[in-house]
Amino acid sequence: MDTARHEAAVVSPGVDDDPTAAVNRWVIGPMTALNRDILAGREPPDAFPAMVQHAVGPLLDTPERYGPRDTCQLLVLLGLVGAGLGRHFQERHPAHRATPERAFDVGVGVGVEPIGFLEYFHRLAEHSGTGHPHRDTYASLTRWNLPPSEAWWGGARLAVLPGVFDDGALRTYTAAVDEVRFFELIKLSETFERAVNLAVGPLADGSVDLLGAEALHRLGVAALLLEGMRKLNADFAALPPAEGLSAGHFMDVFRQFAVHWRPGDVPPSGALDPEALERDLVLGTEAPGFREHLHRMGPGLLPAERDRLAAVADVPALTELVLQRCDPEDGLAQATQTQLRMLVGRFPVLAALHLVLQANARMSGVHLMLSKRYLFNPQRARDRSGYGDPGVVSNRRGTTGMDETALEHLTRVRQHHPLVALRGLPTAELEVLTGLAALRADAPGDLSAAVGFDGTSALRQRPTADDLTGPARPAEGAP
């Protein structure tokens, strides 16, 4: 084993360096190289725990001695290290998948004491005060890992998702550009979702009058933000594999690091994006079994995320509130086109919410398309060829267990929302009625430019008179 090559960045921190920065350098450089070498067969799988103990373990202080920022940074870094330990152990023999915790028990002592990796991570998570799970998770792997991201509209910052590093770097498993681009897509998408939730949330909680002008404006901005998010994801899918993400890398490299650390725990997954979960609850587009799914995902979320979702789940959805206020006598499904026009003329909020639900349904369709392109369709081809599904993480379903049929059903639920009858009216007519047409006219041609990393949103310097009323609430779950 080429020990010098894989440990070089951390054995001796410089005068102006610190242990956390040294671990960061090892994760960004030598660790990714070691992962690549093991996956290519140039190094044996047991090289990884040996290098963790030799190169990283001595750098770590007692968990309780770190400050808040270093603690959160180490949760990101050691989450990636733990994913490597788990994957390489489980790939050595199929039987190892039944006892994933053994990956951390043999020859991996870290810290000054030293102590086992799982115990160290457990104490670090507890010391962070964030309620971080005792393994890698979506919040630290994606949101904390990447630089801060922002959503802007009309010169106002609508949302921000924090990061815990200030180096502008992105930590990955193998340093492949596929992983960098995919991580960026996930966090930018969540930033869009956060801005949408902050826009419509005051309507659902009663702080904005559902029948007032501000409600129409907020719903219009939300619809355009969802359009921007859809374009961001559709543009990503349209990239050739060499410029975006190859299905092979996604299935055989990226996903295979989302292993269990203990039997039955919840690995990191895009399904743990709390903003997407909240949007379904707020809009009332949840599928049957959605609450049970939330309960299963709970251990993989931060407490602040669980609390926010529980609060939203306990109140009526926005669609239900709007229908209660507008009170169509015979229901929308039985109304004629003339009756529908009269109804939305009296209550434009119905049309505005319909446009949001339609934009949400179209975004759901793009998400399903991405899942089919990068996961389900290639796996079907593998099954037909006899290659099967040999990875330690199954490619026949999502990391949290959701399969293609479940995703298709969820997409249909979002498409057949409670206001679907309004599809009988021309979209352009509804956009004029609700003011969305005026918002669109003042918006840039590329709505995906509403989000960016660390102040790079193209809309940041585009002041107009149409920003949202009142300051945006801060992002929740920040360390």
Q: Could you tell me the pLDDT band of residue 456, with boundaries at 50, 70 and 90? A: low
> What's the longest Cα–Cα distance across the chain?
77
Alpha-carbon gap, residue 179 to 397, rounded angstroms: 20
Tell me the H-state helices in 130-204: 138, 177-204
**Are 96 and 164 part of one and the same domain?**
no
Alpha-carbon gap, residue 171 to 440, rounded angstroms: 37
Give how many domains the chain has, as a whole number: 2
pLDDT value at residue 9: 44
pLDDT value at residue 107: 66
pLDDT value at residue 323: 92
**Are 319 and 422 part of one and the same domain?**
yes
321 inside domain: yes
Q: Could you tell me the pTM of the whole model?
A: 0.91
Comparing 12-26, 304-318, 360-374, 382-396, the range with the smallest average pLDDT is 12-26
460 inside domain: no
**Are 125 and 155 part of one and the same domain?**
no
pLDDT value at residue 218: 97
29 inside domain: yes
250 inside domain: yes
For the segment 40-92, what is each residue's pLDDT rounded down to a tens digit? Answer: 999 999 999 999 999 999 999 999 999 999 999 999 999 999 999 999 999 99
pLDDT value at residue 20: 94
**Are 159 and 263 part of one and the same domain?**
yes
Nearest in space to 233 (alpha carbons), one of 223, 224, 244, 220: 244
**Are 263 and 234 part of one and the same domain?**
yes
pLDDT value at residue 457: 54
163 inside domain: yes
Answer yes or no: is pLDDT of 339 > 60: yes
468 inside domain: no
pLDDT value at residue 10: 46
**Are 110 and 29 part of one and the same domain?**
yes
Alpha-carbon gap, residue 421 to 424, rounded angstroms: 6
Alpha-carbon gap, residue 334 to 251, rounded angstroms: 46
Q: Could you tell me the pLDDT band of residue 17, with boundaries at 50, 70 and 90? A: low
**Are 202 and 125 part of one and the same domain?**
no
218 inside domain: yes
**Are 89 and 212 part of one and the same domain?**
no
Considering the chain, what is the average pLDDT of its residues? 89
- Domain carrying residue 64: 3-129
**Are 123 and 87 part of one and the same domain?**
yes
pLDDT value at residue 466: 37
**Are 437 and 301 part of one and the same domain?**
yes
463 inside domain: no
Phi, psi values for residue 334, rounded to 5°: -90, -5
Q: Which of 97, 129, 161 is the last residue of a domain?
A: 129
